[in-house]
Amino acid sequence: MLTLRSACQLTTKNLGLHKCISKTVISALGRRGYHSENYETSKISGKKALILENALEHVPQLGFTEDAIVQGGQALGYSNLSKALFPSGPMDLISYFFLKQRYALSSLKPHLTTIPETSGRVVQLIWSRLQGNRDIVQHLPQMIAICTYPSNLRKSLSSLAELSDEILYLAQDKSADFQWYTKRAAISAIYSASELFMSRDTSPNFEATYNFVQHRIQHAKALNDLRNDVLEWGSFQLNAVRSILRSRGI
């Protein structure tokens, strides 16, 4: 049971999400690329990735800290290189964690084909992504705090936009119009809120977080249905106006 203070804090952070959403949409206008089935556009490669990969092994104990990166480097024979190689420090480690978790979602493809509804697939994808946080759940508040530093905000919002794009792509969402933007903004908001919720969730196997995700997705789906109804109403009105104009001899 959340205390009143915790609930207020969660509410406050949720309110902050609305400001972030517009930035998420704007950042989505930034660097994008053509996704090819024949060409790989991966960013994971080289020695830096190996160091960060090893650093992730230490995150459950040390959190997203410089120490974790130093430990990761030492396992490969490096020492005291983290400052030069990773100027953003913990944020580089967090970005790598985000990237790795996002790529891991692809392994869900076979399972997703058994779920008929797009919204059901989205729930499973978000839940799967949240499962990736299980080992580090005690460090989630720290991770979220680092992501919201002004100097890190652009990077973290970009990661969030990429995650929502990945989720909707894997869920085989068919929107190619402006709903492309509104749906990605909605997924970003839902994932952020769910991650915040998870950082305070003490229920067994994060049951409450799963229910939270489901309710949020169902709510978003209801809003989308409302949008379609409004557009249909608008179309009727337009035809009515034309009929009136015709009856007046135009």
Give the footprint of other proteins on this chain (CB under 8 A). Answer: 28-29, 32-42, 44-45, 49-50, 53-54, 57, 75, 100, 103-104, 107-108, 111, 124, 127-128, 131-132, 165, 169, 174, 176-178, 180-181, 205, 210, 242, 246
Least distance in Å: CB of 115 to other proteins?
A: 8
How many other CB atoms are there within 10 angstroms of residue 21's CB atom? 18
Annotated binding site: 181-184
Least distance in Å: CB of 143 to other proteins?
A: 18
Whose Cβ is closer to other proteins: residue 8's or residue 26's? 26
Least distance in Å: CB of 1 to other proteins?
A: 22
Least distance in Å: CB of 154 to other proteins?
A: 17
**Which of 42, 86, 46 is CA-nearest to residue 64?**
86
Identify residue 38 by its one-letter amino acid code.
N
218, 120 Cβ separation under 8 angstroms: no
Which helix (DSSP H) or strand (DSSP E) does residue 67 occupy? helix 66-74
Whose Cβ is closer to other proteins: residue 42's or residue 151's? 42
Quickly tell me which residue has 């989505």 as its tokens: 28
Quickly tell me which residue has 């080992």 as its tokens: 135
Least distance in Å: CB of 9 to other proteins?
A: 27
**113/121 Cα distance (integer angstroms):** 9
81: phi then psi, degrees, rounded to nearest 5? -100, -10
Whose Cβ is closer to other proteins: residue 15's or residue 176's? 176
**124/115 Cα distance (integer angstroms):** 9
